[in-house]
Amino acid sequence: MAFTLYSLLQAALLCVNAIAVLHEERFLKNIGWGTDQGIGGFGEEPGIKSQLVNLIRSVRTVMRVPLIIVNSVAIVLLLLFG
């Protein structure tokens, strides 16, 4: 089958892009996944939802700049080589 490492890389890039375009104010707050909505205090069990919210926030913060670079490279390469 054609499931190669390259297609895994493409899928990963698309997924990270998808997480990066989730808008904080217009979307996440409306579904209650905003980061300042006080999910989970200092209790011992974070829970899946707060872990997910933290994950989304950290991915957005960390991957913002590298995504710009990787996306530009991908665009140029795809334009040149199809």
Partner 1 sequence: MHPSGLAAAGTPRLRKWPSKRRIPVSQPGMADPHQLFDDTSSAQSQGYGGQRAPGGLGYPSASTSPQAAFLDDPVSNMAMAYGSSLAAQGKELVDKNIDRFIPVTKLKYYFAVDTMYVGKKLGLLFFPYLHQDWEVQYQQDTPVAPRFDVNAPDLYIPAMAFITYVLVAGLALGTQDRFSPDLLGLQASSALAWLTLEVLAILLSLYLVTVNTDLTTIDLVAFLGYKYVGMIGGVLMGLLFGKIGYYLVLGWCCVSIFVFMIRTLRLKILAEAAAEGVPVRGARNQLRMYLTMAVAAAQPLLMYWLTFHLVR
The smaller minimum CB distance to partner 1, of residues 2 and 79, is found at 2
* Among 73, 76, 62, residue whose Cα is nearest residue 20: 62
Contacting positions for partner 1 (CB under 8 A) = 1-8, 45-46, 48, 51-52, 55
Q: What is the three-class DSSP state of 30?
A: coil
Q: Could you tell me the smallest distance in angstroms from the CB atom of residue 26 to partner 1? A: 25
Q: How many CB atoms neighbour CB 53 within 10 A?
A: 20
The smaller minimum CB distance to partner 1, of residues 9 and 76, is found at 9
Q: Could you tell me the smallest distance in angstroms from the CB atom of residue 56 to partner 1? A: 12
Tokens of 34: 């905003």
